[in-house]
Structure 1
Amino acid sequence: MTARPLPLAAPAARGVDASGVHAFLDALEAAPDIEPHSLMILRHGHLVASGWWAPYTASRPQLLYSLSKSFTATAAALAEAEGLIDFDAPVLSYFPEFEADITDPRSRAILVRHVASMASGHEGETVDEAYATDPAEPVRGFLLLPPQRDPGTVFAYNQPNTYTLAAIVQRVTGQSLTAYLRPRLLDPLGVGEALWLRDGTGREIGFSGLHAATDAVARLGLLYLDDGVWQGRRLLPEGWVARASRPHIPTAGAMGERDRQDWDRGYGHQFWMSRHGYRGDGAYGQFCLVLPEHDAVIAATAATERMQDYLDLVWRHLLPAFRPGPLPGREAADGALRERLQRLALPPAEGGPVPPGRAGDWSAAVFTPYGGVCADQPTLTEVRVTGGDGDDWTLSLTDARHRLDARFGAKEWAVTEQPLPAAVSGGWADAGTLAVDVVFLETPHRLHVTCSLTDRTFTARWGTRPLHGRSLLALRAPRGAV
């Protein structure tokens, strides 16, 4: 289906000062540890500013990581409204075949509302242990891990909570999350492609793995901002947004000393409370910020491990840009902002053309991992450089028996679609060193590859380390088997 575009408005017409948006963009692009990929700002129901840093584009689905959780909770709300789920029922009641195996009283006392609010009673992350305990049925593996505390008394950000909620939805509906959400949420919102990672059980995992465009995140945020009503039609059950967006369990101190400020405000139903409003968020800077006090939504994707720093920049620069009424006489400022947003781009990786007279040395050169194994990507076993005709060079990565070929140039990003969407740039630091960056365009991830002609070895390191899959070919939306 073709999505109807979000209604547009000039920033000033909706009380947004373009200078504040410029200040935010300046701060983002100056932050050494933040790589912005997309930004959408909505105010009073209208899209007032949006941009994508090339080679990222508006139409591509992005790996949302834990922002997926907010979509899972929305599916659970819809299933509750249809009488398929009871948030006050024991989790075990949806898996009666585990009845004889689950004997711990705390495990048996976990309710649906506990897993929806990260309050199963476990004191830490159990995802690896749950999968190891029962790879064929991770819900059973999770329930076989006795909580250290009574359910509902302690917060722990624990993936099997959301996985279990997602498994319940898929069990009671007989559908995948995306199939269930498509007619009830995604199509009414006008969300295009949405693809969710599955595990070995065949389930969509719920706690992560959803790939959708930034536009889908903006539309979900706007739906929540408007109390579950979309264009005059109620999509979410009345009262759900209030339930999802209030703290059910305190989180103060739960995330450690780092990243305290916006992770200390409490947790709702798969939404975090913030210093301002509430949010869904995902690893490395995938955000859906819902700001009822400003009647605004901010949807963004990025690559950063400093998510608190990103939020600090939003609070410092964007919030003051939200004014109580229209700002007359700002047409020139709005136009300048629009032009800037259309030009956004990540700088290509540094590097020059092949040094004079050295093209023959590099053409068809083969490189193996420095030290025998690539520490950051052990499945990456070989790099080839081919070319030699002017600036027409190709980098070939052999990873888990698959091969990724991509052209590269020193002055721009070269985009390839097969075998997966990627962009490459880079060049020669000197006669014996080639440095190339590979950006995996449906994820937040960038791989820095450096080849040494002297010893015919390469090194590769991640800017942000992927959390799903082992091979490079897994760094794409799950349209088919990898």
Structure 2
Amino acid sequence: MRHAFRTLAVTIALAAALPAAAGTYRPPTRADDGWPVADAGTLGWNTAKLATLEDKVADGSYKKITSVLVADHGRLVYEHYFNGGSPELLNDVRSASKSLTAMLVGAAIQRGAIPNVEAPVYTFFPDIHIEHPDPRRAAITLEDLLTMSSILECDDENPFSSGNEERMYVSERWLDFALNLPIRGYAPWVSRPKDSPYGRTFSYCTAGSFIAGAAVERATKKPLAAFAHEALEEPLGISKVKWNVSSEGIGMGGGGTRYRTRDLAKLGRLVADGGRWNGKAVLPSGWVHAMLTPHAQARDDADYGYLWWQFRFPIHGVETKVWAMSGNGGNYVFVLPERELVAVITSQAYNQGYAHPQSQAIFRDIVLGAIP
């Protein structure tokens, strides 16, 4: 049986990796992984548009892309690997892992390990010494961390920020570092929460996502990777994955998790279908709805749910809101629930300025440009 599975996996890898002739399209290959496949052409997709992706990667228009996969109504309709990518490659999706942490918080609430999203953060860590106690810390909730809007002074986009993630990575104890961050202030050009959309001031903070993952560990009394396997991966048939840990051994809920492309698509499909996989509930539909509801304005062109981004893209000339897991290098899982669309783009353009615009262009121009 294992030999047959390995043979099938090799067949998929070879079929997906073989170069296609310019302007051609071929449907994904079916495997024993829970994914149905379909011919995009029979579903009304512009397959000539989809096929231009291979040409643009080949001529260097798109760089360092390793895979692109599209699922339509729970069926794979496009799958291709590039630049050393393969069906078995564990893609380092960096901060796209944060969206997984949000799912795990929901799973922990479902199991009663965490009371609700308003749970005070510091109550999970009574053993951590706080060097500068402040009564305002007691009011910080998990929701504040999930929406990147806590009062901790933490901004990964500001190298001067006390909570910049690079400072955390070089510390001996990440959790002590994160929980001891000072209370933030508001420069004259920064809107205070009461003046901000949704009543929250957004500040991108990996340390906050790390705290949220650590809270799940404390609440469930399991390593984050073990709880993720129990709550998400095993129900989805995901067997190959790598989770990172901090220097003191706490699961890294802020980034660096590695998944195969088809498994990333399963996570997207789970969310697109309201917490169900193949008709079976894995996450509460109410949590998925809350997760995919704007709670903060991240930028002028993007809102933020619970560790999920909401972007706006044109579909047939109509501006449409699309949710996404997003990580350094241009790694994305795009989800459009109302059309039951999932698109995965993996890329190794880490720390390159073109990475995110490039992956968003692939989604906008190729995937949405070809949608029925």
The structure showing larger relative contact order (alpha-carbon pairs under 8 Å, at least 6 residues apart) is 2
Deviations 1:23-47 (Å, cap 9, x if unpaired)?
Answer: 3343444454622101111001100
CA contact (8 A) 2:243 2:258 kept: yes
Match of 1:23 in 2: 52
CA drift at 1:320: 2.7
2:325 aligned residue (257, 260, 280): 280
- The 5 Å alignment of 1:114-263 reads 114-121=144-151, 122=153, 124-125=155-156, 126=163, 127-130=165-168, 135-136=172-173, 138-149=174-185, 153-252=200-299
Match of 2:96 in 1: 67
Structure 1 residue ranges without an equivalent (≥5): 254-263, 324-482
Q: 1:66 to 1:54 in 2, by over 3 A?
A: same
CA drift at 1:21: 0.5
Looking at structure 1, the residues matched to 122 and 86 of structure 2 have their Cα atoms a distance apart, in angstroms, of 43
Match of 2:119 in 1: 89
CA drift at 1:211: 1.3
Deviations 1:434-462 (Å, cap 9, x if unpaired)?
Answer: xxxxxxxxxxxxxxxxxxxxxxxxxxxxx
CA drift at 1:18: 0.4
- Give the match's secondary structure for 1:299: strand
Deviations 1:50-98 (Å, cap 9, x if unpaired)?
Answer: 1111532111212111111111111111001111113112111111224
CA drift at 1:16: 1.7
Match of 1:422 in 2: none
Counterpart residue identity of residue 55, structure 1 = G
- Give the match's secondary structure for 1:319: helix
Q: 1:178 to 1:15 in 2, by over 3 A?
A: farther
Counterpart residue identity of residue 224, structure 1 = V
Counterpart residue identity of residue 306, structure 2 = H
Match of 1:411 in 2: none
CA contact (8 A) 1:107 1:146 kept: no
Match of 1:270 in 2: 307
Counterpart residue identity of residue 308, structure 2 = F
Counterpart residue identity of residue 71, structure 1 = L
Counterpart residue identity of residue 65, structure 1 = R
Looking at structure 1, the residues matched to 182 and 35 of structure 2 have their Cα atoms a distance apart, in angstroms, of 47
CA drift at 1:266: 0.9
Looking at structure 1, the residues matched to 361 and 141 of structure 2 have their Cα atoms a distance apart, in angstroms, of 35
Looking at structure 1, the residues matched to 90 and 261 of structure 2 have their Cα atoms a distance apart, in angstroms, of 7
Counterpart residue identity of residue 147, structure 1 = I
Looking at structure 1, the residues matched to 183 and 44 of structure 2 have their Cα atoms a distance apart, in angstroms, of 49
Determine whether 1:309 maps to 2:340. no
Looking at structure 1, the residues matched to 137 and 179 of structure 2 have their Cα atoms a distance apart, in angstroms, of 6
Deviations 1:394-448 (Å, cap 9, x if unpaired)?
Answer: xxxxxxxxxxxxxxxxxxxxxxxxxxxxxxxxxxxxxxxxxxxxxxxxxxxxxxx
Counterpart residue identity of residue 307, structure 2 = Q
CA drift at 1:5: 4.0
Match of 1:108 in 2: 138
Number of equivalent positions: 311
Determine whether 1:322 maps to 2:371. yes
Looking at structure 1, the residues matched to 168 and 223 of structure 2 have their Cα atoms a distance apart, in angstroms, of 21
Determine whether 1:58 maps to 2:98. no
Looking at structure 1, the residues matched to 256 and 154 of structure 2 have their Cα atoms a distance apart, in angstroms, of 24
- Give the match's secondary structure for 1:250: strand
Q: Which has the higher helix share?
A: 2
Counterpart residue identity of residue 299, structure 1 = V
Structure 2 residue ranges without an equivalent (≥5): 6-31, 157-162, 186-191, 194-198, 313-320
CA contact (8 A) 2:46 2:371 kept: yes
Looking at structure 2, the residues matched to 52 and 5 of structure 1 have their Cα atoms a distance apart, in angstroms, of 20
Which protein has the larger Cα radius of gyration, Structure 1 or Structure 2? 1
- Pick which of 226-235 and 104-113 moved more: 104-113
- Give the match's secondary structure for 1:280: strand
Looking at structure 2, the residues matched to 100 and 291 of structure 1 have their Cα atoms a distance apart, in angstroms, of 42
Q: 1:6 to 1:146 in 2, by over 3 A?
A: same
CA drift at 1:22: 1.7
CA contact (8 A) 1:251 1:265 kept: yes
Counterpart residue identity of residue 108, structure 1 = A
Counterpart residue identity of residue 87, structure 2 = A
Looking at structure 1, the residues matched to 135 and 155 of structure 2 have their Cα atoms a distance apart, in angstroms, of 19
2:70 aligned residue (32, 36, 41): 41
CA contact (8 A) 1:277 1:293 kept: no
Q: 1:123 to 1:65 in 2, by over 3 A?
A: closer
Looking at structure 1, the residues matched to 338 and 56 of structure 2 have their Cα atoms a distance apart, in angstroms, of 24
CA drift at 1:130: 4.4
- Give the match's secondary structure for 1:184: helix
With the length of structure 1 as denominator, give the TM-score of the two structures: 0.61
CA drift at 1:100: 6.0
- Give the match's secondary structure for 1:240: helix
Match of 1:428 in 2: none
Looking at structure 2, the residues matched to 47 and 53 of structure 1 have their Cα atoms a distance apart, in angstroms, of 18
Looking at structure 2, the residues matched to 30 and 311 of structure 1 have their Cα atoms a distance apart, in angstroms, of 19
CA drift at 1:4: 2.2
Deviations 1:248-267 (Å, cap 9, x if unpaired)?
Answer: 111125xxxxxxxxxx3111
Counterpart residue identity of residue 230, structure 1 = W
Looking at structure 1, the residues matched to 127 and 154 of structure 2 have their Cα atoms a distance apart, in angstroms, of 26
Match of 2:318 in 1: none
